[in-house]
């Protein structure tokens, strides 16, 4: 595992000041933190791209895995943001890493992009198409924040944007004998496409092209929260049945992190020990597709990932989609 954060840290007070400078609207100090649990987040430098954060994290993961870049035969870039519309940002990651022996592609599914990327990499390895895969995420979400908030109604639809943070993460996966009993046990995904309007950045496609008016993040946070509580627990339960685990078997839980309350609330509903949850949202904000692997990298840094550790990765994403992956380290 590897992770990377931009140098610039932005606090809640910084957020309030930027909104006031843009519109004159004063937001009560601590409001964002009280509602979301986010104390701080990191924003990219002006010349820092999604691929840069992904590459920094990848280099750390590659060093820890004790492999050379020449051994990597698959690179998957999985994020909400990207450097350019075309070609795939994975090409830029490949060039910066010098991983010339790799097949590359992007996987995009909002905040579940990294989980989907793991699923694709796992499938490649299982069917013998790859021996060593690198899944990376680099999120520069700060570019999609609309600071022009003039009243409380606008604050309601844009509050989630104020929790966004930038960051990158990476995981190296290699083939191992089934007899070792390690790795990704199964994957479970389901989507509810009728809910796609609940969280959007509408620009960049055929609908609105590059119209700046549609280039900002918008969400209906309450409805997304309801969807998470409705659909994620059932998916987690199906994974327990498939893997033979009990909820109390989970030693490390890494969920997509929108608010601290939601992370703990879902753990409680799923009967997973609260202390197993790795919390990053307080200091890094909502880093979208990078949030789950950043949390896993944090667990790695803290020495919580040992041979045989049982890990649950779970995410709910715009779309609306649900993904759950159990792993034995």
How far apart are alpha carbons 199 and 228 in whole angstroms?
Answer: 13
**pTM passes above 0.85:** yes
Same fold, 2-174 and 181-328: yes
> 8 forms bridges with which residues in the sheet?
43
pLDDT digits (tens, 9 = 90+) for 269-288: 999 999 999 999 999 999 99
* pLDDT of amino acid 203: 87
Question: What is the CB neighbour count within 10 angstroms for residue 274?
Answer: 11
* pLDDT of amino acid 205: 86
Taking all residues of the chain, what is their mean pLDDT, rounded to a whole number?
93
pLDDT digits (tens, 9 = 90+) for 130-189: 999 999 999 999 999 888 888 877 877 788 888 999 999 999 999 988 888 899 999 999
Best CATH choice for the domain 181-328 from the list 3.40.190.10, 3.40.47.10, 3.90.245.10, 3.40.140.10: 3.40.47.10
pLDDT digits (tens, 9 = 90+) for 80-95: 999 999 999 999 999 9
Q: Where are the domains of the chain?
A: 2-174, 181-328
**Does the pLDDT of residue 317 top 90, yes or no?**
yes
**Burial of 244: CB neighbours in 10 Å, binned 0-12, 13-18, 19+:** exposed
Topology of the domain comprising 2-174: Peroxisomal Thiolase; Chain A, domain 1 (3.40.47)
Task: Write out the DSSP string of 238-295.
Answer: HHHHHHT--GGG-SEEEE--S-HHHHHHHHHHTT--GGGB---HHHH-B-GGGHHHHH
Residues known to be catalytic: 111, 256, 286
Mean pLDDT over 183-209 rounds to 91
């Amino acid at each position: 595992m590897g992770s990377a954060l931009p140098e610039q840290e932005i606090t809640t007070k910084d957020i309030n000041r930027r909104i006031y400078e843009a519109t004159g609207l004063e937001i009560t100090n601590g409001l964002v933190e009280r509602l979301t649990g986010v104390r701080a987040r990191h924003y990219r430098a002006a010349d820092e791209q999604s691929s840069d954060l992904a590459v920094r994290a990848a280099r750390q993961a590659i060093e820890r895995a004790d492999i050379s870049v020449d051994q990597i035969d698959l690179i998957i870039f999985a994020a909400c943001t990207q450097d350019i519309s075309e070609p795939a940002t994975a090409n830029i990651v490949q060039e910066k890493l010098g991983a010339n022996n790799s097949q590359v592609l992007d996987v995009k599914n909002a905040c579940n992009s990294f989980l989907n990327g793991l699923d694709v990499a796992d499938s490649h390895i299982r069917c013998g198409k790859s021996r060593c895969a690198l899944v990376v995420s680099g999120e520069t979400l700060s570019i999609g924040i609309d600071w022009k908030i003039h009243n409380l109604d606008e604050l309601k639809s844009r509050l989630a944007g104020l929790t966004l943070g930038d960051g990158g993460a990476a995981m190296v996966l290699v083939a191992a004998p089934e007899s070792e009993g390690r790795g990704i046990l199964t994957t479970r995904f389901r989507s509810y496409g009728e809910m796609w309007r609940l969280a959007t950045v509408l620009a960049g496609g055929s609908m609105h092209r590059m119209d700046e008016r549609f280039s900002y993040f918008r969400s209906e946070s309450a409805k997304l929260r309801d969807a998470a509580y409705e659909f994620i627990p059932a998916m987690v339960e199906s994974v327990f049945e498939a893997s033979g685990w009990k909820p109390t078997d989970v030693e490390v839980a890494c969920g997509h992190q929108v608010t601290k309350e939601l992370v703990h609330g879902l753990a409680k509903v799923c009967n997973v020990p609260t202390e197993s949850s790795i919390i990053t949202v307080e200091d890094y904000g909502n880093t979208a597709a990078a949030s789950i692997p950043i949390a896993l990298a944090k667990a790695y840094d803290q020495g919580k990932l040992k041979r045989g550790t049982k890990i649950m990765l779970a995410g709910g994403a715009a779309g609306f989609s649900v993904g759950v992956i159990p792993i034995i380290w």
